[in-house]
Amino acid sequence: MSKMHDFHYQDGELYCESVRVQDIAERVGTPFYLYSHKTFTEHLAKIQSAFRSLKPLICFSMKANSNLAVLRSLVKKGAGLDIVSSGELFRAKKAGCPPSKIVYAGVGKTDLEIEEAIRAGILLFNVESIQELGRIQKIAKKLRKKANVSLRINPDVDPGTHAHITTGKAESKFGLDMDTAHLIFMRSDQYPHLSICGVHVHIGSQIVKGEPFVKAFRKVLLFLTHLEKEGHRIKYLNLGGGLGIIYSDERPQTAEQFAKHVLPLFRSKKYKIIFEPGRFIAGNSGIFVSRVIYIKRTKAKNFAIIDGGMNDLIRPALYDSFHDIWPLHQNGTAKRLTYDVVGPICESGDFLAKQRTIQELKPGDLIAFASAGAYGFSMSSNYNARPRVAEVLVRGSRFEIVRQRETYKDLIRGERIPSWV
């Protein structure tokens, strides 16, 4: 699974599918996010193909990338959506996703969010606490509805990934321990407006090996066997997401390799399997394009100061994450120098790459940060009163701006100065 995929060089020029990225930059300006329709849909197809014998529902994790054009592209290829807020529910409906293919996760669902999701007729709530379960029961009763619920199990498995994206250990805020989940099933008659019909497990993100998944899934299957012996009927088994991708030198499992690990566990089971991939589908489907403003040389190091900052792509500052740097125009005769690539934000943590050896840069050069399709724009902000950037989608030889660059007026939309100030 090469991270270049449908981003490639042709005569030294970076292309996305059949479109030269330089041409997009001249039309759109910088910085901007650029997505490949082909990569998005092919990555979805890889999971669909690998697990076709289970006929799973594959719900793309919207928090990775919630652009409407991206969501519509995946929904049209058969994907459902995994949401974590009413805002994402609103976007999911705008993208044309059937409510019967929407699952709702997250530890802090409000009353209004729960009510909106029940009214919309979503497939499942992934429930994270006893209090949340009681809240859904109360609201479903008020609405005279019956809501489907899946209990998120915390299997206490270390996925071997960054602490900030580890979600399946005992000290995590996510999920229920198995004793508590078992107690809920035993007391399910206390929730007459809920159908507690599923179990959910998600142990973290950017997991590159199969073993943590297998360990967690085996724990959950033992739990389910115990429940079924007691007479509880489990219809849905949500196996979450978390498949890793190539950012630097990782060697993540492919969808086929993941399936070889997982399929033997579930071949004889009759559960409706749900997956929630996000990064695996979106990560290497997008790049972030920025322009060099200044080159600053000090006694300590060289700085390439660009027009994109941590407000646009926060992952390096937040996770110390790696994004490969691709010049839009390769210069085979240029010297190679080492730079810290930094943005214009007034924070010492505003960097997109440190100690990176690349071809010599000069003001005006355009560079792309690879593997930026997941948790890129969706985590961006207006910090330092900077308008959020444009998003562009390529399909074949066509490209279109699928989100306009914000204006200064957008920055103050909804604000007012009281007459008494």
Structure tokens at 87: 């805002």
User: Known catalytic residues?
Assistant: 346
Cα-to-chain-centroid distance, residue 82? 10
Asked whether 329 and 15 are in contact (CB, 8 A), the reply is no
Parallel, antiparallel or unpaired: strands 57-61 and 390-395: unpaired
Per DSSP, the three-state class of 288 is: strand
User: What contacts 24+ positions apart, CB below 8 Å, involve 96-99?
Assistant: 96/72, 97/71, 99/123
**Distance from C-alpha of 77 to C-alpha of 204, rounded to nearest angstrom:** 26
DSSP 210-273: SHHHHHHHHHHHHHHHHHHHTT----EEE----B---SSS--PPPHHHHHHHHHHHHTT---EE
The residue to which tokens 């394009």 are assigned: 289
Cα-only R_g, the chain: 23
**Distance from C-alpha of 359 to C-alpha of 337, rounded to nearest angstrom:** 6
Asked whether 209 and 238 are in contact (CB, 8 A), the reply is no
Asked whether 54 and 273 are in contact (CB, 8 A), the reply is yes
Per DSSP, the three-state class of 72 is: helix
